[in-house]
């Protein structure tokens, strides 16, 4: 009787160990990929869901877990942020405010989304993020057929910020595309500005998710530490691994996850 009683506990411990390993590996890989090419943010969501976290809480926990790494990246980009603030074409305070408000709206939209509806949306969100990552760089600065004026640039950033607070996959490429259409060409300045705005929109979402009690802290802390370690390794690997190899790996993972979640919700 005692042995039979203990078997489920042992099975649960084994499942939990597998879940923890999966979350750690996915988060490490996400941090690694983000350091090299970006686009790793959608890896932690499926891992947390597989670990038993409900979809909406998994999305919130993923956002919180990857936030410390974004702050560290923002600190490293402070020179570019200062340069953007001095550029007369860029209204950094307005973009910052819009990113904060948009991130807050996106986070609140996630809170009011029914769990069943969000589960059906997940494969579409991952597919969209994968396509943005795959083809976002196809918009060459000299090939844009139209330009955004200042108002159009602010509206575009607001829409991206709402999406970023709600899900966030591919926001970096979306922001770079928006800044390109606005007329900016200095990739160093654009990347720095994109990092700042991403931190702000995610800060609003992070605060929202924490207050709402959606964060599964044990797995989130594990994911945060693993992502930071992955980012550190990725920075050093960036000098050795071809960009195309990393990008192809991210796209393949995104497509596999898309198919998996479409089949799961069918």
211-258: per-residue pLDDT in tens? 999 999 999 999 999 999 988 887 777 667 776 777 787 788 888 888
Section 46-61 average pLDDT: 92
User: Is residue 115 within 8 Å of residue 59, measured between CB atoms?
Assistant: no
- pLDDT of amino acid 206: 95
pLDDT band at 132 (very low <50, low <70, confident <90, very high): confident
Residue 48 and residue 64: Cα distance in Å, rounded?
A: 12
* 139 in Cβ contact with 34 (< 8 Å): no
Distance (Å, rounded) from C-alpha 168 to C-alpha 39?
10
Contact 101, 262 (CB under 8 A): no
pLDDT of residue 63: 92
Q: What is the pLDDT of residue 174?
A: 84
pLDDT in tens, 61-84: 999 999 998 888 777 778 888 888
């Amino acid at each position: 009787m005692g042995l039979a009683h203990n078997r489920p506990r042992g099975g649960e411990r084994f499942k939990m160990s597998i879940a923890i390993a999966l979350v750690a590996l996915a988060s490490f890989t996400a941090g690694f990929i983000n350091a090299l090419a970006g686009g790793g943010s959608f890896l932690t969501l499926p891992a947390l869901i597989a670990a038993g976290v409900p979809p909406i809480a998994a999305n919130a926990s993923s956002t919180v877990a990857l936030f410390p790494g974004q702050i560290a990246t923002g600190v490293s980009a402070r020179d570019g942020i200062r340069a953007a603030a001095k550029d007369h074409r860029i209204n950094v305070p307005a973009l910052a405010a819009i990113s904060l408000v948009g991130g807050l709206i996106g986070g609140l939209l996630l809170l009011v989304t029914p769990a069943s509806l969000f589960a059906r949306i997940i494969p579409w969100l991952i597919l969209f993020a994968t396509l943005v990552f795959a083809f976002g760089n196809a918009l060459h600065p000299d090939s844009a057929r139209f330009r955004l004026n200042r108002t159009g640039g602010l509206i575009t950033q607001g829409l991206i910020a709402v999406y970023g607070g709600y899900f966030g996959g591919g926001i970096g490429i979306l922001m770079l595309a928006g800044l390109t259409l606005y007329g900016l060409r200095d990739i160093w300045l654009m990347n720095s500005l994109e990092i700042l705005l991403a931190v702000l929109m995610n800060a609003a979402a992070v605060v929202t998710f924490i207050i709402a009690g959606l964060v599964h802290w044990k797995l989130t802390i594990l994911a945060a530490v693993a992502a930071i370690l992955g980012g550190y390794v990725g920075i050093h690997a960036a000098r050795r691994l071809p960009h195309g190899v990393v990008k192809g790996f991210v796209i393949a993972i995104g497509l596999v996850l898309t198919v998996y979640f479409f089949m799961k919700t069918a």
